[in-house]
């Protein structure tokens, strides 16, 4: 409801929600409790001026999203390189992909993330084959919906 109302009303409703429920995620998980919200935080939100606590939380959230996206994309890129190298039987490219994987994992740990095991890279070619078996009618399926795709494509 806060999204469709004019900003003044929306800010007031959001401030009321912060005061009673704290800051919550869209799935309902509590991110900051009402006890963690100061009077200044609530008043600031009500007048449309988020406080340092709110902006710091938003900044940290955006940084997390940015880093997770980067690592996901880089992981995918290294896996693709490894898959292609395995298909081509290119031992130098296989070694290079494994080295890149190791560097990527070291960077993740340095930035506070957990390592993704080497086994995930090594299993990537077989995982691609398995995923491609679930493509029905040009649509990438999953084990949970492949029956639906088969029924609809017949």
pLDDT band of 53, cuts 50, 70, 90: confident
pLDDT at 5: 65
pLDDT at 143: 92
pTM value is 0.76
Scanning the structure block, which residue is given the tokens 């429920």? 21
CB atoms near residue 123 (< 10 Å) = 13
Integer Cα distance of 119 and 24 in angstroms: 36
The domain locations on the chain are 7-50, 60-122, 123-154
pLDDT band of 1, cuts 50, 70, 90: low
pLDDT at 2: 55
More confidently predicted of 139 and 154:
139
pLDDT at 4: 64
Q: Tokens at residue 81, please?
A: 């390189």
59-91: per-residue pLDDT in tens?
Answer: 999 999 999 999 999 999 999 999 999 999 999
99-151: per-residue pLDDT in tens?
Answer: 999 999 999 999 999 999 999 999 999 999 999 999 999 999 999 999 999 99
Close Cβ partners of 36 (under 8 Å, ≥ 6 residues apart): 22, 53
Q: Answer whether residue 8 shows pLDDT above 70.
A: yes
């Amino acid at each position: 409801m806060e999204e469709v109302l004019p900003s003044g009303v929306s800010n007031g409703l959001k401030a009321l929600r912060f005061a009673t429920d704290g800051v919550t995620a869209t799935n309902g998980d509590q991110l900051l409790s009402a006890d963690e919200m100061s009077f200044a935080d609530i008043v600031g939100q009500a007048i449309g001026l988020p406080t340092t606590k709110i902006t710091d939380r938003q900044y940290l959230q955006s940084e997390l999203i940015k880093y997770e996206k980067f690592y996901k994309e880089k992981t995918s890129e290294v896996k693709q390189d490894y898959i292609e190298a395995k298909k081509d039987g290119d031992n130098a490219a296989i070694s290079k992909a494994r080295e890149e994987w190791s560097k990527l994992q070291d960077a993740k740990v340095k930035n506070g993330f957990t390592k993704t095991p080497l086994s995930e890279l090594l299993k990537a070619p077989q995982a691609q084959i398995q995923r491609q078996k679930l493509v029905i009618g040009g649509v990438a399926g999953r084990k949970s919906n492949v029956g639906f795709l088969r029924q609809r494509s017949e």
